[in-house]
Amino acid sequence: MRPMMNTTAVTDFPPIRRDRLHTLQMNLGYLCNLACTHCHVEAGPKRTELMDRSTMDTALEFIAAQGIQTLDVTGGSPEMHPRFREFVAEAKALNVHLMDRCNPTIIEEPGYDWVPAFLAEHEVEVVASLPCYTADNVDAQRGKGVFDDSIAALQKLNALGYGQPDSGLTLNLVYNPGSPSLPPPQDVLERDYRRFLADQFGIVFDNLFTLANMPIKRYAHMLLREKRMADYMQLLRSAHRQENVASVMCRGLISVDWRGFVYDCDFNQMLDMPLDGGDALHLRDLIDTDFSRRAIAVGDHCYGCTAGQGSSCGGALN
C-alpha cells in the first residue's frame, strides 16, 4: 500500500538541505521481542510488517549505484527478519560498512544464539540499546528481566572481540532518558557507563550514544496520556542550538521503510512524511537520483535532534 502524504502543521524549524548521501538506513520491519515505552516505531512481538526480498534486492542495487558507504539496519529487532542473514551477507559482499541497531536481548531469545557469531564473522558494527546501567531503570523502560538479558548478551559479544581494543569489532551502546528530559552530557555519562559495567560485569564497549526521546508514536502516546507533551515540546524548542543543524543525520542519510518507501530520516518515516516533503517515492524509482542539495522535510519533532548537545543516530552532535 502506498503511504499517504503527510499533512502536519507548518513548523518554524529552520530549513535543511541534504549534503552528500553516504548512508542508507533500512527498517526491515516492526517485529521485536520487546515493546519499550520509548519506542517511536511502536515495535513489538505482535507486529507482522516485514520487508520482502524484492525490496532487499532493490536496496543492494541502490547501494552499488550510489556508492553508499554505510548500510544501517534497524527495526524492530532486525535479526528477527527471516532473511536478515542472507541480506547482510550480500551487502557485505558490496564492501559496504554494516551497522546493526541491535536490541541485545534478542541474543538471549530461543533460536537466536547464532546472532553474535554471525555479526562478528561479517564485521558488523553493533549499536546496542542499554538505556541505563542499572537494572531498575532499564526494566522500567523496557520490561522485567531486560537488564539481565542485556548484560548476558553484551558479555557474549565481548567474548567474540566486540568492544575489545584492536579487534575491528565495534560495540556502541545507546542511552535514552527514562523521563521527558534531555540526555545528560554524553562524555560524562559514558565514563559512568564504562566504570560501572567494567567493575560489575567485566563489560567493555567503544562508545556511548545519548539520544533524546522523540515525541512520536508510543512515546508521544505516553506524553499525551500524562499531559506532558506541551512541556516536553517546549523543552526541546527552548534548548534548540542552531549550530547542531549542520550535523543532523538526515544531511547524509535516507531512510527506507519495510515497504521500500523512502524518507529523509527514520523519524519522518514514522510520521509518514515522505522524502523532501513531496509525494511518496519508492527506492526502486530513485536508483540513479542525485540526492545532494535536496530539501529535507522538517517538523516540530526535529527539535529533538538539535536540542542541547544534539541527538542523532550517532549520538550527541557536540
What's 109's domain CATH number? 3.20.20.70
Q: What is residue 137's predicted lDDT score, i.e. its pLDDT?
A: 74
pLDDT per position as a tens digit, 90-140: 999 999 999 999 999 999 999 999 999 999 999 999 999 988 887 777 777
Residue 41 falls inside a structural domain: yes
Residue owning grid cell 524492530: 76
Whether 305 contacts 311, CB under 8 Å:
yes
102 vs 170: CA distance, rounded Å: 12
Residue 11 falls inside a structural domain: no
Q: Can you give the residue range of the structural domain that contains 135?
A: 17-306
Residue 237 falls inside a structural domain: yes
pLDDT per position as a tens digit, 220-258: 888 999 999 999 999 999 999 999 999 999 999 999 999
Residues of the chain with pLDDT under 70: 1-9, 38, 141-142, 312-315, 317-318
Q: How many domains does the chain have?
A: 1
203 vs 152: CA distance, rounded Å: 10
C-alpha closest to that of 278 among 292, 266, 261, 290: 261
Q: What is residue 312's predicted lDDT score, i.e. its pLDDT?
A: 66
116 vs 171: CA distance, rounded Å: 11
Q: What is residue 140's predicted lDDT score, i.e. its pLDDT?
A: 73
C-alpha closest to that of 294 among 278, 311, 314: 278
29 vs 274: CA distance, rounded Å: 18
Asked whether the bond before 76 is cis by omega within 30 degrees of 0, the reply is yes
Residue 8 falls inside a structural domain: no
CA 167 to chain centre: 24
Q: What is residue 65's predicted lDDT score, i.e. its pLDDT?
A: 97
50 vs 78: CA distance, rounded Å: 9
152 vs 104: CA distance, rounded Å: 9
119 vs 285: CA distance, rounded Å: 31
